[in-house]
Structure 1
C-alpha cells in the first residue's frame, strides 16, 4: 500500500512540483554547506535535513559568517517548504488509505 500511495502521489503534477522544490531546497543547502563549511556531502545533506525538519541535534553548526547568514535565510525559506511537503504526503497517504478507489487512478 505504501508504494502504491507513493506512485499515485508522483503521478500528480502538483505533487511532483512540490517534490522537486523540496529536492532543490535540500540540494542547495547541501552544496552550500559542503563548499562554505567544508563538510562532507553526507554531513551537509544531514545538516540540511535536520535543520529544515526543526530537529536540530546540534552536532553540526555553521562556523563561518557566511554559513551562519545563509542558515538564517535557509531556515526562513526552507522550513515552510519542507513542512508543506511532509504535510501533503501525510494527507495524500491518509486520503488514499480512506478512499481505496483513489489508488487505481
Structure 2
C-alpha cells in the first residue's frame, strides 16, 4: 500500500520519494499533511480512494500488532493453529472495541479549533 502510493505521488504529483512516503504514512495514519494537497484531478481521485481503502488496512495492521504485543501465550508450546483461532476470536469479538479506542484516542488528541 505504501509502495503503490509512493510511486503514484512521485510520478503524478512530482514529489520526492521521501516526501511521497511521508505523505502516504501521515494520510493512512489519519494524521493528515498540513501543507500538501494533490494538485491534479487524478491525484485527488487517487487520494480519496487511497484514504478509504488504506485506512482500514492500516488500522487492521495496528490492531494486529497491538494484539500481538498484549496477548501472552497460555503456555510456551501453543500450536500455530490454536494461536490463529485465538486471534480470529479476538478479531471478531473486539474489532469494534479496538476501532472505537483508536478513534477516541485520535479525537482526544485533536486540538479544538475554537
In structure 2, the partner of 1:93 is: 69
Compared with structure 1, are the counterparts of its residues 101 and 42 closer, same or farther at alpha carbon in structure 2 (3 Å cutoff)? farther
TM-fit CA distance, 1:57: 3.2
Matched length: 79
Between 31-40 and 50-59, the greater mean CA deviation after superposition? 50-59
SS of the residue 1:59 aligns to: coil
TM-fit CA distance, 1:82: 0.5
From the CA coordinates, give the structure whose radius of gyration is larger.
2
Q: What is the TM-score when the length of structure 1 is the normalising length?
A: 0.68
Q: What is the TM-score when the length of structure 2 is the normalising length?
A: 0.63
Kindly report structure 1 stretches of 4+ aligned residues shifted beyond 3 Å: 99-105
Residues 1-105 of structure 1: pairs in structure 2 closer than 5 A = 25-96=1-72, 99=73, 101-102=75-76
5+ residue gaps, structure 2, are: 80-114
Note the aligned Cα RMSD (angstroms). 2.0
5+ residue gaps, structure 1, are: 1-24
